[in-house]
Amino acid sequence: MHALKNDLLLKALKGEAVPRPPVWMMRQAGRYLPDYRKLCEKYSFFERCQTPELAAAITLQPVEQIDVDAAIIFSDILVVPKAMGLEVQLIENIGPVLPSPIQTEKDIARLHIPDVKDRLHYVLDAISLAKKELKERVPLIGFAGAPWTILCYMVQGKGSKTFDEARAFCFQQPAIAHRLLQMITDTTIAYLKEQVAAGADCIQLFDSWGGLLGPEDFHIFSLPYSQQIIHALKPMTPVILFAKGAWFALKEMSETGADALGVDWCIKPETARKLTDNSITLQGNLDPAKLLAPVAEIKKGVKKMLTSFGKDKYVANLGHGILPNVPVEHAKAFVEAVKEFLFQ
Amino acid sequence: MHALKNDLLLKALKGEAVPRPPVWMMRQAGRYLPDYRKLCEKYSFFERCQTPELAAAITLQPVEQIDVDAAIIFSDILVVPKAMGLEVQLIENIGPVLPSPIQTEKDIARLHIPDVKDRLHYVLDAISLAKKELKERVPLIGFAGAPWTILCYMVQGKGSKTFDEARAFCFQQPAIAHRLLQMITDTTIAYLKEQVAAGADCIQLFDSWGGLLGPEDFHIFSLPYSQQIIHALKPMTPVILFAKGAWFALKEMSETGADALGVDWCIKPETARKLTDNSITLQGNLDPAKLLAPVAEIKKGVKKMLTSFGKDKYVANLGHGILPNVPVEHAKAFVEAVKEFLFQ
């Protein structure tokens, strides 16, 4: 089916031996790129995201300008709560605002499990178009937020350091929390299946706030729902699960059937390998702030990271999204350093 | 010297056997208490903090109303950058703002190592007064921020999820970062020595953002400075080091000479014990959001926590500060649950 010219990422996700690890960057289609910033001046976030031509063009920018080994569709995890009936505003330089967050059982009645082909057609159209325009140069990654992370925004109503209200919601009204998590899960499964049908070559599930739950609560409110999604997607496509900060559950996550696990910069590669018994592909984990250091330091950091993770079962990436103020040359240096590195 | 009626905390910090673990709560002198909120209506943060009568009264509120086993002086870690010459605003319900943050070597020239007895006399006076008013009922905890955490605010200029600018500052200008960290360290050592002289029975060092550094960078930009402070204080007083999120350095922190380590809620007690070879007193770690759950759930959580940590070498606490919207009855239930628990 695929005739990908560069299939390093898919090979690494399968655990196959590769000549060198693939490299891409979370948020690689983003504000550090001048061409992206130009589009931000003309179009709002949802215009960029809901116009397939714009979303596809943005998706391709890092492939063409930074020479990464994979594209990731330009979108946002909060298109899911929006499709479920919640108002979502994405305000430039401020972040997401959900003016009517979920607080009680009554609020859940405002939500529905949408027909994703209808409500999220713009993402699917963008995927089809991006896939076409990529001309099989590199694989295209689709994505969604993990249900716990989506609940965080739905309940808290905005970004937060610790999403205290979301955690409290789960502890105060666990039955309602589970109902909400299941609705998000069902929507996400349908949504991701359509992403694959539209052309996504693999999927990343972002549990950006997984690490804000204690280990036991992560097993109650996060992992079972990510697990459902992975099971549903697995026959169709490789899945990368990135639960930021959830080092304590790496072992359990490695047993979900996920093809790879993302790791942030707050864990040594050796520790992550040990915690997963070296059994699964890992993706990460340079501190994104290191891309602001001089290029020589970036190259040093990449060398150390690659030496520690090893050549196979590995996808080079940052430990979180690239920062908006990174010079393009530094992003290029990161990608080049991965490609140049000679494994012993 | 001391004739403390309740010396459970000091015994636990020494690792001595206790009839039951001591219990206190980070931010226990805070907004969840109606009497504190009344004072907030009349006085600004710095008025409350710089008027020894107010600071001492606030310090005693949780001892008298919640019956905790220790008082902690009402103050803020940002009095240190303020004393060093940086403008610090603490805006109600918003958080700290430092309008002229440190960005270059030139900015460092604006700072000085202050005469702490002069510039921070208000904290020392508040400690003396609180100590007197406590009448040896329970010990009084003094505190300061760890140098890395203070640098975070000095560079970023405000609170942040990830303090990217602070991390980038360290990676871009490491020599200047180390100069700044040393200035903060020198100030903090002098400041904490005076806190002990004024009557503090032990000290907690808050490295609230320690867990935002990768393991190797934590060893470069955080640990050596906390280590210096602990060494300087150790002959005088017990020290609790709480580096939130820095699970990866628990072993190394247990070897700093600290008498106890704080742990947040994102690690199992058993894991924290294992990582520290059961060699040091641990403090924590109930998820603060759990205090918003029904009282029966709070009691269940406390039982589980106490069973896991064990009776000795343990200080019961939350995994981070108590949230402002916790009902007083729930805070009381937490403290009572610790006191009532019967160890097998």
pLDDT tens digit string along B227-279?
A: 999 999 999 999 999 999 999 999 999 999 999 999 999 999 999 999 999 99
pLDDT of residue B313: 98
- The residue type of B119 is R
The answer to whether position B130 is within a domain reads yes
Q: How far is B217 from chain A (nearest CA, A)?
A: 9
CA-wise closest residue to A142 among A199, A69, A200: A200
User: A250: part of which helix (H) or strand (E)?
Assistant: helix A250-254
The b-or-e profile of A296-326 (16+ CB within 10 A means b, else e) is: ebbbebbeebbeebebebbbbbbbbbbbeeb
Output the CA–CA distances (angstroms, integers) from residue B36 to A165, B43, B141, in the order listed. 22, 10, 19
A51-55 contact pairs (CB < 8 A, 24+): A51/A122, A52/A122, A52/A125, A52/A126, A52/A128, A52/A129, A53/A129, A55/A122, A55/A123, A55/A126, A55/A129, A55/A130
The minimal CB distance from A161 to the residues B161, B268, B271 is found for B161
Percent of chain A with pLDDT over 90: 96
Nearest CA in chain B to A289: B168
Q: Name which of A172, A245, A268 is nearest B292 (Cβ-Cβ).
A: A172
**What is residue B280's predicted lDDT score, i.e. its pLDDT?**
98
Name the phi and psi angles at B155, rounded to 5.
Answer: -90, -45
Q: Which residues does chain B have within 8 Å of residue A292's beta carbon, measured at their own beta carbons? A: 168, 171-172
* Interface A:B, Cβ pairs < 8 A: 87
Q: Which of B152, B153, B164, B303 to mutate to test the interface with A (most CBs of A within 10 A)?
A: B164
Q: If you search the block for the tokens 């942040």, which residue do you land on?
A: B160
A249 domain-assigned? yes
Which positions in chain A touch B266 (Cβ < 8 Å)?
211-215, 245, 248
Please state, in angstroms and rounded to a whole number, the distance separating the CA atoms of residues B218 and B174.
13
Residue A3 scores a pLDDT above 90: no
Q: For chain B, which ranges sit under pLDDT 70?
A: 1-2
- Name the region of A275 (left: φ>0; alpha: ψ -120 to 50; beta: rest): alpha
Is A42 contained in some domain?
yes
Average pLDDT along chain A: 97
Task: Return all residues near A319 (Cβ < 8 A) that are at least 6 apart.
Answer: A263, A264, A265, A266, A284, A285, A286, A287, A288, B214
Nearest to A215 among B214, B268, B288 (CB): B268
Q: Is the pLDDT of residue A196 over 70?
A: yes
Q: Which residue is closest to B211 within chain A, CA to CA?
A: A266
Is there a domain that residue B58 lies in?
Answer: yes
Residue B172: which of A162, A164, A292 has the nearest Cβ?
A292
In-domain check, residue A132: yes
Among A164, A217, A220, A275, most B C-beta atoms within 10 A, so best to mutate, is A164
Cβ distance of A323 and B171 shorter than 8 Å: no
Can you tell me the mean pLDDT for A146-174? Answer: 96
Read off the amino acid at residue A163. Answer: F
DSSP-based three-state secondary structure for B238: coil
Indicate which of A266, A267, A305, A323 best probes the interface with B, i.e. most B CBs within 10 Å of its own CB.
A266
Chain A positions touching B290 (Cβ under 8 A) are: 171
Instruction: Give Dmax over CA atoms of chain B in angstroms.
Output: 60
Per-residue pLDDT at A93: 76
pLDDT at B216: 97
Distance from C-alpha of A284 to C-alpha of A272, rounded to nearest angstrom: 10
What is the ipTM score, two decimals? Answer: 0.94
B323 vs A contacts (CB less than 8 Å): 164, 168
Query: Is residue B92, in this structure, part of any structural domain at all?
Result: yes
Yes or no, beta carbons of B266 and A248 under 8 Å apart = yes
Contact assignment for B288 to A164 by CB distance below 8 Å: yes
Longest CA pairwise span in chain A (Å):
60
pLDDT of residue B2: 57
User: Which of A267, A293, A320 is opposite residue B171, by nearest beta carbon?
Assistant: A293
Q: Is the pLDDT of residue A1 over 60?
A: no
Residues of A in contact with B271 (CB under 8 A): 215, 248
For testing the chain B interface, which of A173, A248, A275, A287 should be mutated: the one with the most B CBs within 10 Å? A287
Q: Walk across the sheet containing B281-286 and list its strands.
A: B71-72, B140-145, B202-207, B239-243, B260-262, B281-286, B314-318
Interface contact B266-A214, CB threshold 8 A: yes
* A226, pLDDT greater than 80: yes
Side chain identity, residue B226: S
Best residue of B172, B287, B305 to probe chain A, by most A CBs closer than 10 Å: B287
Backbone angles phi, psi at A167, to 5 degrees: -65, -45
Distance from the first to the final alpha carbon of chain B = 34
Q: What is the pLDDT of residue A187?
A: 98
Which residues of chain B lie closer than 8 angstroms to A267, CB-CB? 214-215, 248
Residue among A161, A289, A319 minimizing CB distance to B171: A289
Q: What digits encode the pLDDT tens for the residues A81-123?
A: 999 999 999 887 788 999 999 999 999 999 999 999 999 999 9
Contacts of A294 in chain B (CB under 8 A): 172
Q: Is residue A314 part of a domain?
A: yes
What dihedral do alpha carbons B193, B197, B202, B208 form, nearest 10°? -40
pLDDT at site A2 = 57
Range of the domain at B239: 8-340
**Could you give the CA distance from residue B178 to residue B162 in angstroms, rounded to a whole number?**
20
CA distance A56 to chain B (A): 29
Per-residue tokens: B312: 């000795």
A274: pLDDT strictly greater than 60: yes
Q: How many domains does chain A have?
A: 1
CB contact under 8 A, B248 and A265: no
Residues 6+ apart with CB under 8 A from B183: B84, B108, B111, B113
What's the CATH number where B177 sits?
A: 3.20.20.210
Tell me what pLDDT residue B95 has: 87
A3 located within any domain: no
- Three-class SS of residue A245? coil
